[in-house]
Amino acid sequence: MATNAVADTTAVDLGGRYRLTRDLTETLARPLSPEDQTVQSMPDVSPTKWHRAHTTWFFETFLLAERDPGYRLYDPDFGFLFNSYYEAVGPRYDRPRRGVVSRPGAAEVGCYRRHVDDAMAGLLETPLEPATADLIDLGIHHEQQHQELLLMDIKHVLSCHPAQPAYLTLDPPTAADRNPPTAWVDHDGGLTDIGLGAAPFAFDNEGPRHTVLLPPFALASRPVTCGDWLEFIADGGYQRPELWLSDGWAAVQESDWGAPLYWCDEDGIWTVFTLGGRRPVHSAEPVSHVSYYEADAFARWADARLPSEFEWEAAARPEAPTDDALVLHPRPVGATAPLLGDVWQWTTSAYGPYPGFHPAAGAVGEYNGKFMVNQYVLRGGACLTPPGHIRPTYRNFFPASARWPVTGLRLAQDR
């Protein structure tokens, strides 16, 4: 939940952020046909129109239906179709079968969004209690999460098409096809505060702020690149069981992994499917779409390890020792690598509650807490993460086998 929303001073700004966020979702969906927006290529992927409808259902269910006595539901059946996992709200449609829901179509989902946006405009013009402002803020950040998911999911959908069409025409990377050097950035460790502080917004899983003891460590100055990964492949990385965790080796065998997701060896030339279509792999780019198992195996092959989420956050905070290698802003491919903004970076930390964590009361308490099992924490944000949605305390999480997110890695060492 938002930590410091002030109703009488943030309402206008909150309304502006609401409109910008809702408009961006529609901008992201615009290149896609109605047919594109209906496809579900695997159980973890959701159709584009479902993302558009679900984020709308969130505002309708948790804001309008609860706080606007005059609000009329657009369609009572949409609660069943577009609830994701909120058990307290009611039953929901089976997630792996979202792609067979042909109706409502993409155009009617647009009507649904406009209906809810019109009602939200009225709500945003009224004096807002702090709890209401906080909930709107949560809905905005929730929709930003789904904007990233929308792009991740449609990339997988289009990759399954025989022609592998592009989502958009994108300029190719301009960096030289060479591997940038790696340096190691030392951190003294010691007692370190972890978790949300004075940020305008943070999800509940980013707190409470607490202190951890870190031994001295070092982080690599850049994420692992595609060039590094090509060396791993050439050295038999996917054929050497001694590099892999048991479950990881089983996944390699069962799924026949031999490279990151979307990579293909075409007569000795590695190519990768992107939102701009298929193109050659560029050595200087951060490798992405690798599972935790692959990241862990690579780190072992490189005589290094993955960092804990606490090490990662300690190095990423603005008060950390400054170094050109640890800047906190996006950069062109091949330039000095930041900790934030290229790829989500796997850590060794299991996704669990911080000391003193308690889910919020009511249905929104299901947002994060009930997923704190069998997942690993990722840090840093990715190229698909919306602007303003990246911060050093952000805790993303996925199962160890997940490859369709924009997941990469940064190496660590003990000091």
Predicted pLDDT at 260: 98
Strand, helix or coil at 237?
helix
pLDDT at 6: 32
Q: Which residue, 412, 271, 275, is CA-closest to 345?
A: 412
Task: Single out the residue of 62, 358, 331, 75 nearest to residue 204, CA to CA.
Answer: 358
* pLDDT recorded at residue 353: 96
Buried b (16+ CB within 10 A) or exposed e, 266-299: eeeebebbbbebbeebbbbbbbbbbbbbbbbbbb
319: its two tokens:
């008060």
Are 348 and 293 in contact by the 8 Å Cβ rule? The answer is: no
Provide the residue type at 120 as one letter. M
Specify the pLDDT at position 229: 98
Cα–Cα dist 38/106, whole Å: 8
The predicted structure's pLDDT at residue 95: 96
Q: What is the pLDDT of residue 177?
A: 59
372: tokens are 């704190």
Both structure tokens of 209: 């702020």
Structure tokens of 62? 């948790």
CA-closest candidate to residue 83, choices 74, 68, 95: 95
Please give the single-letter amino acid code of residue 299: A
Radius of gyration of the chain (CA): 22
Write the CA distances from 363 to 53, 84, 367, integer angstroms: 19, 12, 8
Q: What was the pLDDT predicted at 392?
A: 92
Dist. CA 137–CA 154, nearest whole Å: 26
Q: Model's pTM, two decimal places?
A: 0.91
| Cβ neighbours of residue 45 closer than 8 Å, sequence gap 6 or more | 152, 153, 156, 157, 404
DSSP output for 157-224: HHHTSTT---SS--PPP-S-SSPPP--EEEE--EEEEES--S-SB--GGG-S-EEEEE--EEEESSPP
Going by C-alpha positions, the residue among 160, 151, 145, 79 that lies closest to residue 112 is: 79
Q: What are the Cα distances from residue 284, in Å, to 155, 173, 182, 229, 334?
A: 22, 10, 11, 11, 5
Query: What was the pLDDT predicted at 325?
Result: 30
Burial class of residue 5 in the structure, from the number of CB atoms within 10 Å of its CB (0-12 exposed, 13-18 middle, 19+ buried) = buried
Residue 6's SS3 state is: coil
Per the CB < 8 A criterion, the answer to whether 340 and 390 are in contact is yes
Q: How far is residue 232's CA from residue 299's CA, in Å, rounded to a whole number?
A: 10
What is the helix (H) or strand (E) element at residue 67, kind and residue range? Answer: helix 65-67
> Residue 279 contacts by C-beta under 8 Å, 6 or more apart in sequence?
172, 271, 272
**415 residues of the chain, pLDDT tens digit each:** 333 333 333 333 899 999 999 999 999 999 999 999 999 999 999 999 999 999 999 999 999 999 999 999 999 999 999 999 999 899 999 999 999 999 999 999 999 999 999 999 999 999 999 999 999 999 999 999 999 999 999 999 999 999 999 999 987 776 555 777 889 999 999 999 999 876 788 999 999 999 999 999 999 999 999 999 999 999 999 999 999 999 999 999 999 999 999 999 999 999 999 999 999 999 999 999 999 999 999 999 999 999 999 999 999 976 543 333 332 223 333 333 457 779 999 999 999 999 999 988 888 887 888 999 999 999 999 999 997 788 999 999 999 999 999 999 999 999 9
Question: Encoding tokens for residue 138?
Answer: 């949560």
- According to the model, what pLDDT value does residue 334 have? 33
